[in-house]
Structures are given as C-alpha cells and as structure tokens.
C-alpha cells in the first residue's frame, strides 16, 4: 500500500500530515510513503529527515495523487477551498483522509463522492475511549487552548502571577474560561501554570471535578445539564432562550476578570453568542477576550475572525487556524492520530479495509462508492437515508 502526503495549500497552513517518526512507523508496517518535496518544511522537518526514515520524495502533488492508495492531509476537501483543484487528480477507489468540514460543506462532499473516492473526515472521529488515540480534534484543541493563554498574557495589561516585590504586592490576573472541553481544560492548566487565578464555566456539570483538579474554581449558574453533549461526545446546540439566560448569569463573572477565553462550538453550526456588546462594555478597561470560536462566527458578537480589535477599551482577539501557529507539535500530534487510524484500518493483511460495522469507520466515513454515506451529512444535504446492509438483503 502506498501512502501519499502532499504539501498543504491552505493559506498560512504550516502543519503537515506526516512527520519523520510516523513515516518510520509506516515503513515498519510495510507501506511505501510518498512525500511531496517541502511538505514538512514549514513545520520544522526538512526533506532529508523524511528520506532518512524511508520516505520517497516526489517533485509534485500530481505524482502523490497519481501513485498513492491513501492520501493524508491536514486540510482536505471542504476545509480548504484551494483543494478543489485536486479533484481532477483523484481516481476511483482512492482514499483521502483529513479535516473536511463535511457538515457545513455538503456541496463539496457531493463533488468528491462523484469521483468515486473514499473520504474520511478527521473531525468526525467518535469521542470514545476506543478512538481516543485517533481524536485529532482533541489534539488540535490542546494546542489551541495553550496558545490562547499565551496570546492573552501578551495582550492583557497585567502580569499573570502574584508577585511580592520591593514596590509592594502585585495581585494576580484573573482568567475566566468559558467551556471546559479539551481546549478549555488546557487553557485552565496553562493559565494556572502562569500564576493566574482561574474560574471556569461549562454547561456540563460532570466537568466540575476536572476543572477543580486543575486548581480552578467552577462557576455554577444553575443551567448545567447532562444533555449538553451527543452520544459521540460532541457539544449540542441550545435555543436562544437558554443562551440569553446564560449571558445574564455570566455577566458578573466577566466584570471581575481580566482575561476571558471562550471555547464553545457546535460541529457544523454557527458558534453560540455568549458575550454581547453590552457585556463587553461592562468589562474592565484593558481586559482581553480570546475567542477560540472565531472561525465559527465567534462566541463574542464583536469578534472579527483573524483580527485583533479594541472595543470599549477591551482587546478582542479572533484567532483562526490557531494550531498552525505551533506547527511542529501540532503536526506531531496530528500525524500520530493519522498513523493510529491507518493502523486501525489496515489490520487485515496490511491493506485498507473499511469495516462498515465498525463505529469508528461509521463515524468518519463521508463518501464511498460514489455516494455521500454519512447520515448527518446526507441530512444536511436534504438526501434520504441510505439503506442498511440488512435492508438491502430483504
């Protein structure tokens, strides 16, 4: 089996889908790895490092797609408008794996399906114990949560730790993290490591223990519910009345803190608005908001994706593609996720096998044999459900 890794073509994308370490693992499993020259340079690995681990370097992405049975990418069809130029490079039966935005880019999924390829979307990996080593969303959220705190510390008008100085005591910065998923928990841990006093809120009461174990206070608003996530571990959306009540109750916490980091996102949907302009106006001058949901529209209604702005004396940072800002470790984590997935899918005689009874395959398989097959993507496209194997036999 030949595994291909082309350069990323999304603007400012510095990550890569394979690192020398995972190339060595693939070679040990008996696979050939084709790498487009320069694919790992922006992440910190030169071609020689890949060659030393057994990768075959090719001069063009056309060669990668022409020869590879499995193509590994960071941003693939749907998550990268520039990837549409790769459609003509696809061949029937080929498998492409990467982030694809399938729930919001259904039309692109139909175009890919028409080429007869298998498309696997990494953001749809089930958040289960069995799939944990392949969970790329969690890996990238870890990077984003860490980086968000560093950005906030650089922008806020205070130092994070308490300092006892000859000029007197400097009180620590106060940080409020909204959402205690993977990104939120990493943000909490990083802010605490820098010496800040941290408070966090999440609609899921079960995360209170995790928040407190990191040394932060868990803010209870009385809105917490066990129904805040799907069976697959992803966040659910609520109605506007719920978010309005949530904003009302969070307003006091915003006033008391110097930094607010928001992480609330629902797959395939616009991010819920948790901070309104009046709430921002009431915050302390010099405060900072880092909105990790900026790419989904933002948790703050004033957020401008990709920009840092100042409104009512508050700095609002709307980072996009934040994991790419730390490309070496982000690539290392993502490449390991992909390697674990490939290992899972090739357990039978070293060949790719998409077991449709496997919950991991069911979760991430978007296109197969000319069809969009993922139930949620089909629903978003207005397509009827496909017949199950049992129904076809009847």
Give the active site residue among 59, 60, 85, 132.
Answer: 132
Question: If you average pLDDT over every residue of the chain, what do you get?
Answer: 93
pLDDT tier at 192, thresholds 50, 70, 90: very high
pLDDT of residue 226: 64
pLDDT of residue 234: 57
Is 135 among the residues known to form the active site?
yes
Q: What is the 3-state secondary structure (H, E, C) of the chain?
A: CEEEECCCCCCCCCCCCCCHHHHHHHHHCCCEEEEECCCCHHHCCCHHHHHHCCCEEECCHHHHHHHCCEEEEEECCCCCHHHHHHHHHCCCCCEEEEECCCCCCHHHHHHHHHCCCEEEEHHHCCCCCCCHHHCHHHHHHHHHHHHHHHHHHHHCCCCCCCEEECCEEECCCEEEEECCCHHHHHHHHHHHHCCCEEEEECCCHHHHHHHHHCCCEECCCCCCCHHHECCCCCECCCCHHHHHHHHHHHHHHHHHCCEEEECCCCCCCCCCCCECHHHHHCCCCCCEEEECCHHHCCCECCCCCCCEEEECCEEEECCCCHHHHCHHHHHHHHHHHHHHHHHHHCCCCCCCCCCCCCHHHHHHEEEECCEECCHHHHHHHCCCCCCCHHHHHC
In the chain, where the domains are located: 2-134+327-393, 142-320
The answer to whether 2-134+327-393 and 142-320 have equal CATH topology is yes
Is 247 among the residues known to form the active site?
no
pLDDT tier at 331, thresholds 50, 70, 90: very high
- Out of 97-106, 261-270, 309-318, pick the least confident: 261-270
Give the active site residue among 135, 186, 243, 368.
Answer: 135
pLDDT tier at 267, thresholds 50, 70, 90: confident
pLDDT tier at 223, thresholds 50, 70, 90: confident
Is 132 among the residues known to form the active site?
yes
Residues sharing a CB contact under 8 Å with residue 231, sequence separation 6 or more, in sequence order: none
Q: What percentage of the chain reaches a pLDDT higher than 90? A: 84
Per-residue pLDDT tens digits for 69-91: 999 999 999 999 999 999 999 99
pLDDT of residue 387: 73
pLDDT of residue 197: 97
pLDDT tier at 340, thresholds 50, 70, 90: very high
Is 202 among the residues known to form the active site?
no
Per-residue pLDDT tens digits for 368-382: 999 999 999 999 999
Instruction: Name the CATH superfamily housing domain 2-134+327-393.
Output: NAD(P)-binding Rossmann-like Domain (3.40.50.720)
pLDDT of residue 225: 72
pLDDT of residue 48: 98
- Please state the rounded mean pLDDT for residues 185-198: 98
pLDDT of residue 117: 97
- Please state the rounded mean pLDDT for residues 357-364: 95
Is 310 among the residues known to form the active site?
no
Per-residue pLDDT tens digits for 197-211: 999 999 888 899 999
Per-residue pLDDT tens digits for 272-294: 999 999 999 999 999 999 999 99
Between 225 and 140, the more confident residue is 140
Strand order, beta sheet including 95-99: 56-58, 32-36, 2-5, 70-75, 95-99, 118-121, 365-368, 371-372
pLDDT of residue 236: 64
Task: Indicate the CATH number of 142-320 among 2.120.10.80, 3.40.50.720, 3.20.19.10, 3.40.50.620.
Answer: 3.40.50.720
Per-residue pLDDT tens digits for 117-140: 999 999 999 989 999 999 999 999
pLDDT of residue 95: 97
Global pTM reads 0.92
pLDDT of residue 89: 97
Give the active site residue among 61, 75, 115, 127.
Answer: 127
- Residue 227 reports pLDDT greater than 70: no
């Amino acid at each position: 089996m030949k595994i291909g890794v082309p350069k990323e073509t999304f603007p400012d994308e510095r990550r890569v889908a394979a690192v020398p370490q995972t190339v060595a693992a693939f070679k040990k499993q008996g696979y050939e790895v084709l790498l487009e020259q320069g694919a790992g340079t922006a992440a910190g690995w030169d071609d020689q490092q890949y060659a030393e681990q057994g990768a075959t370097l090719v001069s063009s992405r056309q060669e990668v797609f022409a020869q590879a049975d499995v193509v590994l990418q960071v941003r693939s069809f749907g998550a990268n408008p520039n990837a549409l130029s790769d459609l003509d490079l696809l061949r029937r039966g080929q498998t492409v794996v990467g982030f694809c935005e399938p729930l919001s880019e259904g039309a692109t999924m139909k175009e890919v399906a028409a080429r007869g390829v298998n498309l696997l979307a990494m953001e749809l990996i089930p958040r289960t114990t069995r799939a944990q080593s392949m969970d790329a969303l969690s890996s990238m959220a870890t990077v984003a949560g860490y980086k968000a705190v560093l950005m906030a510390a650089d922008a806020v008008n205070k130092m994070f730790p308490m300092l006892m100085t000859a000029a007197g005591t400097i009180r620590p910065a106060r940080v409020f993290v909204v959402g205690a998923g993977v990104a939120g928990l990493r943000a909490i841990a990083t802010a605490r490591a820098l010496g800040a006093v941290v408070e966090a809120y999440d609609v899921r009461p079960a995360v209170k223990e995790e928040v407190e174990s990191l040394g932060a206070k868990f803010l209870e608003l009385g809105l917490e519910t066990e129904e805040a996530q799907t069976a697959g571990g992803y966040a659910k959306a609520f109605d506007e009345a719920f978010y309005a009540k949530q904003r009302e109750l969070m307003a006091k916490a915003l006033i008391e803190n110097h930094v607010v980091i928001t992480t609330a996102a629902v797959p395939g949907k616009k991010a819920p608005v948790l901070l309104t302009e009046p709430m921002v106006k009431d915050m302390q001058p010099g405060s900072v908001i880092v909105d990790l949901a900026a790419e989904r529209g933002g948790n703050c209604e004033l957020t401008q994706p990709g920009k840092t702005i100042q409104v009512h004396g508050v700095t609002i940072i709307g980072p996009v593609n934040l994991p790419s800002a730390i490309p070496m470790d982000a690539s290392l984590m993502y490449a390991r996720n992909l390697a674990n997935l490939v290992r899972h899918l090739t357990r039978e005689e070293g060949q790719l096998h998409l077991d449709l009874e496997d919950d991991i395959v069911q979760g991430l398989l978007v296109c197969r044999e000319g069809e969009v097959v993922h139930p949620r993507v089909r629903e978003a496209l207005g397509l009827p459900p496909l017949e199950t194997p049992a129904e076809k036999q009847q």
